[in-house]
A and B are shown apart, each in its own frame.
Chain A
């Protein structure tokens, strides 16, 4: 790993009680949930990570702790560095602070987290569903949400499925 990145990682580990790790040359930092806004601020102002490249989540159901990991990818363009931050969340409708005041493009990413995973984002200017219709129930990318698979029609179940399938009257 880059020595500059190593130094940044050690600094962040000390300041935010974070745990760093590395896999295939990519650095990752596990930050406590209440420290994420301060960590994002420090990354942008002190260490030059000006761009939030990606923001997503992973659902570890049925493992209860941690249930979710929220993954942030930051990019430092002048020094060519990438850093991943992870936040562990538990519970069925966990809450997380918004970083859209620091990185404006987190706005839609956090709406997607709310829509797909049900992670309530505090202090978000406009938290509503983005990809699913507004009246959709459930959070599709959670592991306990079914795929919504429709049975394939073969000869033996053709009539049965045709009766159930909605068809337009005109």
Chain B
């Protein structure tokens, strides 16, 4: 069968497949946008020699939302609601990145209590994101009960988020200058109950998977990546730490008070799927450590900055102070302005380096807000990792790189 009889969806992909495909020796298979194991709408064009992958061409853009252009049309504070929906498993992390970038751009202070609560929620969000990763990764490798256990624990974290902000996922709880409102009455007890109970759950998941011969067979020596390849391709996060490089932005460029907390960076050296799995399992424990320290040290004080040029006054003040009314009016109609300059701020999301490039133009709307999302960069290495592996290994590799399509396509 010649190439003219084979339907490749786009002529433009012809130069990416090898000559053997053009002769019909290898099979071109479309692992389409709707597929249970691609963790979202990712299309992979696979060139297969029997069951072995000769080349794999990712085709992204099926979830492109135009968030960056939408952000340019809204004021700084209103644009924050758009940021939740980028990496929808790390919603508070996205809010944190945006708020840090904005606070750096306009030079706004954040009180200590707000910083500590931000750290608590970011780490809880990291645990919740890794739970979804573990559940779906294990589900792809046919360990279905892990999926149920993980989502059950995730509900406990979502309860805590709902308690403080009213929403389970898209909270927008972090605002420029601090938090939206004071934490709820039972917040500390709920978090403490969760972190006291969770360590034995992590032991449970490890007991189910870490020494399981089927899991080991499917993940050991599959999709190996070296640290040099990782750095050259811009890989960050647990995928890079699974290859031996201890690079974590919470230690390298600490933000929001992370320098006060003691925690380790788990590093594995083999760089295969099992190493990345191991790194993320250890990250559960390190996140619990951070939350415990932050909770023990939780300072009392204001939850948001009192710089009225950027932060609206509380409603109680509006009855008594004229300046409060003027600030309230200006901030809610026009919004605050940022200088004509740009900043780039990066935080450590559960997937890697999440960077925000924010450029202002002196007006109330962001001129350009570019999101350097970890999944977009991490996905590029998939063709390299999956060469000469079986299709079943490809499923394990996609799961271990931990992509979220909202991040990739923005």
Contact = CB atoms under 8 A, between A and B. Distances in A.
Direct contact of A and B (CB under 8 A): yes
Interface string A128-143: 1111111000001100
Interface residues of B, number: 43
A52 B234 contact: yes
Interface stretch (B59-67, B143-151, B166-174): B59-67
Interface string B370-388: 1010001101100000000
A6 interface: no
A105 B245 contact: no
B68 A141 contact: yes
B344 A77 contact: no
A26 B16 contact: no
Interface stretch (B23-31, B84-92, B213-221, B353-361): B353-361
Given A24-B343, A132-B61, A140-B69, A53 B355 contact: yes
Interface string A46-76: 0000111110101100000000000101000
A50 B60 contact: no
A73 B371 CA distance: 12
A54 B253 CA distance: 16
A129 B372 CA distance: 18
Interface in A116-151: 126, 128-134, 140-141, 147-148
Interface string B234-275: 101000000001010000110000000000000000000000
Contacts of A53: 234, 346, 353, 355, 372
Determine the main DSSP class of B at the interface with A. mixed
Interface string B99-117: 0000011010000000000
Nearest to B377: A105
A73 B234 CA distance: 11
A160 B338 CA distance: 40
Contact of B376 (A24, A108, A133): A108
Nearest to B361: A60
A23 B233 contact: no
Interface size for chain A: under 10, 10 to 19, 20 to 34, or 35 or more residues?
Answer: 35 or more
Contacts of B64: 131-132
A98 to B, nearest CB: 15
B253 A131 contact: no
Contacts of B104: 24
A105 B380 contact: yes
B368 interface: yes
Given A53-B353, A132-B61, A105 B344 contact: no
B15 interface: yes
A24 B345 CA distance: 11
Interface in B310-355: 341-344, 346, 353, 355
Nearest to B356: A54
B339 to A, nearest CB: 8
Interface of B: 10, 12, 15-16, 60-61, 64, 66, 68-70, 73, 104-105, 107, 231-234, 236, 245, 247, 252-253, 341-344, 346, 353, 355, 357, 359, 367-368, 370, 372, 376-377, 379-380, 409-410
15 contacts: A23-B343, A24-B341, A24-B343, A53-B234, A54-B355, A54-B357, A56-B357, A56-B370, A77-B247, A104-B233, A105-B377, A130-B60, A131-B61, A140-B66, A140-B69
Interface of A: 23-24, 26, 28, 50-54, 56, 58-59, 71, 73, 77, 80, 82, 84, 103-105, 107-108, 126, 128-134, 140-141, 147-148
